[in-house]
Amino acid sequence: MELRGHLDLLLLGALAAVGPAHGYAVITALRERTDDVFDLPEGTVYPALHRLERDGLVVSQWSAEAARRRRVYRLTSVGLAALEVKSAQWEVFATGVQRVVQWAT
């Protein structure tokens, strides 16, 4: 399924749900939660995380808990507010689409 335009919402939502996590964990959580509905190139998640960090929606730091150094991302208060706004926008969008689909069938 095409994710263009909704990746930020998914990443912010995943971080809100699972808490601080590194990129691989975020992708795994998204895949498991959606039963592989979103077939996104996993690599696109990292530039998106960097962009969210540049915009102040997440912060990150290295964690040495695993065998390899990992960059752990955490939602900021600004990110949480953005998640609420984007979620509301998505609700409006999804409701509109759903009404048209129900109308057509």
Partner 1 sequence: MGYVIDTYLEELFDRLGGTGAAGRRALAEVEDHLRSAADEAIARGVEPIEAERTAVDRFGPSSKIAGGFQAVHNGPVALLRQAFVGCWLVAALAFVAIGLSGAIAYAFGRWFGIAFVPGDAIGSTYTLDRCADFIRFHPEAVTCAAAAAAHHFDEVVVTEPPPVCSVPAPWWRCGWHADTRRWEAPGGRRPKAP
- Count the site residues for partner 1 by CB under 8 A: 18
Cβ-based nearer residue to partner 1, 26 or 83: 26
Cβ-based nearer residue to partner 1, 46 or 90: 46
What is the SS3 assignment for the chain? CCCCCCHHHHHHHHHHHHCCEEHHHHHHHHHHHCCCCCCCCHHHHHHHHHHHHHCCCEEEEEECCCCCCEEEEEECHHHHHHHHHHHHHHHHHHHHHHHHHHHHC
Tell me which amino acid residue 74 is. Answer: R
Which of 6, 33, 51, 74 is in the footprint of partner 1 by CB under 8 A? 51
Q: Does 90 bind partner 1 (CB under 8 A)?
A: no
Q: Which residues make beta-bridge pairs with 71?
A: 62
Q: Does 70 bind partner 1 (CB under 8 A)?
A: yes
Q: Does 74 bind partner 1 (CB under 8 A)?
A: no
Which of 4, 5, 35, 54 is in the footprint of partner 1 by CB under 8 A? 54
Return residues touching partner 1 (CB under 8 A). Answer: 22-24, 27, 41-44, 46-48, 50-51, 54, 68-71
